Amino acid sequence: MSAVPSKQELKSSKRQLATVIDLSKCMGCQTCTVACKNLWTQREGTEHMRWANVSTCPGKGYPKDWEQKGGGFDGEGRPQPGRLTNLVDCGDNFQFNHGEVLGAGNAQGKKLEPRSARGEVPTWGYNWDEDQGKGDWPNPYFFYMPRKCNHCSNAPCIDACSRNAIVKRDDGIVVIEQDRCEGHRHCVEACPYSMIYFNPKSQKSEKCIDCFPRVEKGVAPACNRQCVGRTRAYGYLDDPESQVHKLVKQWKVALPLHPEFGTEPNVYYVPPMSPLAYDTEGRLTGAGRLPIEVLEGYFGPAVRGALDTIIAERNRRKRGEPSELMDLLISRRWLDRFAEFTAEPI
Amino acid sequence: MAKAQAKAKRVAASNEKLLEVDGAAWSGSSAIGIDLVPAPVTMAANVSGQMALSQNHGKVRRAEARLAHNGETLSVRLSWRDSDKDDQIADLDRFADGAAVMFPLLDDANPLTMGDERKPVNAWLWKADREEPFDVIARGYATSQRRPASSSQLASNALHRDGQWHVVFQRPLELEGGEFARFAPGGLARIAFAIWEGSNAERAGQKAISGAFLAVELEA
């Protein structure tokens, strides 16, 4: 390797680890968020970071308005300009006047009041628009969107780093080498998913490391393993025995989020099935509440085929016939979801 | 030997006095006007496609440099107009002001690329939010390495007053070992300048630069 490695060298890997998340099952409980927060972002300077997070779709998301921030690549593979996020966009770090209310005998007279990172009355925060969604009575709709770094195969952060501090490991996990990072934040601008965060204390950028110290010991990442809803699968995409392979490659029911960003992300989503819509008399109709166009906006045109497959397999099961896909999505033994990454964390 | 374009006066002042930004030690030195231009970031597209998209960097177009030595250390005093004092990173989208002076380790190193594999450059980097400057070695884009100030006994001092930054860098003329620029009374120093305007999100290659190395004669 020459003194300055090429971006292609930095972006290549022998294999690719991937996560699949079933959005029909995610209930927005934030256990993944908390599992990650407890492990990785309790250090000073990381208060605003949620490497794993869940927001409501449609909605402004986390960080706020991330889908409009730019970055990624255009159809010709050219990098697109992106903007930086700020502390408030990133969910802020509210402080409460606990001392004033609880410590000074004011419990009857004063109430708890949050203050934003800027010392102001907050007008935005993590999950500020939770469960709002869209749609009119009697058919409002929303679904939850759990996210983390996509460990992209065509990672724009690697292209963007003038320090060559970002590399893809042989297992496909993308990491920011902290001793090379100088906090210039071109990666933050370039990531169209806004999953890189600047640490103002260390003055370096950080992001999800896919729990690689766990993965190296055969333990699935905390967000995946701690999910109480059995929504998540983890493993190598090229392992034909892994659920991720079966759901992404074989059944083609798990799709990347915003494939048009051109980064080839490696978190895949089983699109949410729609509850049935009501008519104005309160009677169930045959139509779904979630407009297919909305889902296409997130997952591209392939979402139609994926949902058709899921519905067809569900109908098979309803008729009492076997369905491998339904068995996969149910996962009666939860450890089946994690391929070879089933070791206990402790 | 190339012709000197400017002079570093030999003064009797102590290192401490020369580190005083507005000290009397600087009263006799003449100012060198430095024109700055936006650094050509498109040249660096292969090391940062995102940085290469930058269009509005290089806000500071004019600076003033003064150089002096006392036989022991070389001091470089840089002044420029900047009404926005950015001396801390108060939010995730904020950047600090900065300035650097750069010297070739071999005379014909390329200042625009910060040298290359065979012809490294040495720079002194001041960041408004940092206690100490960095001593930098670079062999072209994406290779710069920040070394602690102690590695070369590099010192700096800065003052923001009346809408202007004044920064003094100071380092021993001679150093044992290591990849550092070396200076001698009666000799020639080649020096280039860079300034980052924090409020304009300038960092890394997004900066204003002086371009070619200026040849400065150190008074014997």
Query: Domain residues of chain B, as ranges?
Result: 6-17+30-77+93-150+174-218
| B119 in contact with chain A, both atoms CB, cutoff 8 A | no
A68-74 long-range contacts (CB < 8 A, ≥24 apart) are A69/A192, A69/A194, A70/A189, A70/A192, A71/A156, A71/A189, A71/A190, A71/A191, A71/A192, A71/A261, A71/B50, A72/A156, A72/A190, A72/A191, A72/A192, A72/A261, A72/A262, A72/A263, A73/A154, A73/A156, A73/A261, A73/A262, A73/A263, A74/A262
Q: Would the pLDDT of A2 be above 50?
A: no
Residue B210: name the closest of B75, B37, B17 by CA: B37
Determine whether the interchain pair B141/A4 forms a contact, defined as Cβ–Cβ distance below 8 Å: yes
Per-residue pLDDT of chain B (220 residues; tens, 9 = 90+): 568 999 999 999 999 999 999 999 998 889 999 999 999 998 888 999 999 999 999 999 999 999 999 999 999 999 999 999 999 999 999 999 999 999 999 988 999 999 999 999 999 999 999 999 999 999 998 899 999 999 999 999 999 999 999 999 999 999 988 899 999 999 999 999 999 999 999 999 999 999 999 999 999 9
- Tell me the pLDDT tens digit for each residue of A176-187: 999 999 999 999
Structure tokens, A208: 């999800």
φ, ψ of residue A187 to 5 degrees: the values are -65, -40
Determine whether the interchain pair A71/B50 forms a contact, defined as Cβ–Cβ distance below 8 Å: yes
- Find the length of chain A: 346
List the single best residue of A4, A201, A203, A207 to mutate versus B (max B Cβ within 10 A). A4
List the single best residue of A162, A167, A187 to mutate versus B (max B Cβ within 10 A). A162
- Tell me the pLDDT tens digit for each residue of A143-160: 999 999 999 999 999 999
Amino acid at B167: V
CA distance B78 to chain A (A): 23
pLDDT value, residue A157 = 98
CA distance B184 to chain A (A): 32
Residue of A112 and A92 predicted with greater confidence:
A112
Q: Topology of B6-17+30-77+93-150+174-218 in CATH?
A: Immunoglobulin-like (2.60.40)
- Find the length of chain B: 220
Average pLDDT over residues A76-92: 94
CA distance A64 to chain B (A): 14
CA distance A289 to chain B (A): 39
How many Cα atoms are found within 13 Å in the side-chain-facing hemisphere of A259? Answer: 12
Largest CA distance in chain B: 49
Mean pLDDT (chain A) is 95
pLDDT value, residue A1 = 34
Beta bridge partners of residue A276, listed in sequence order:
A288
What is the rounded CA–CA span in Å between residue A64 and residue A58? Answer: 12
Determine whether the interchain pair B117/A3 forms a contact, defined as Cβ–Cβ distance below 8 Å: yes
pLDDT value, residue B1 = 55
pLDDT value, residue B142 = 85
Determine whether the interchain pair A186/B201 forms a contact, defined as Cβ–Cβ distance below 8 Å: no
Q: Which domains does chain A have, with CATH numbers?
A: 8-91+126-338 (3.30.70.20), 92-125 (no CATH)
Determine whether the interchain pair A186/B50 forms a contact, defined as Cβ–Cβ distance below 8 Å: yes
pLDDT value, residue A119 = 85
Structure tokens, A193: 């998913």
Q: Would the pLDDT of A39 be above 90?
A: yes
| B131 in contact with chain A, both atoms CB, cutoff 8 A | no
Residue A228: name the closest of A19, A27, A38, A56 by CA: A27
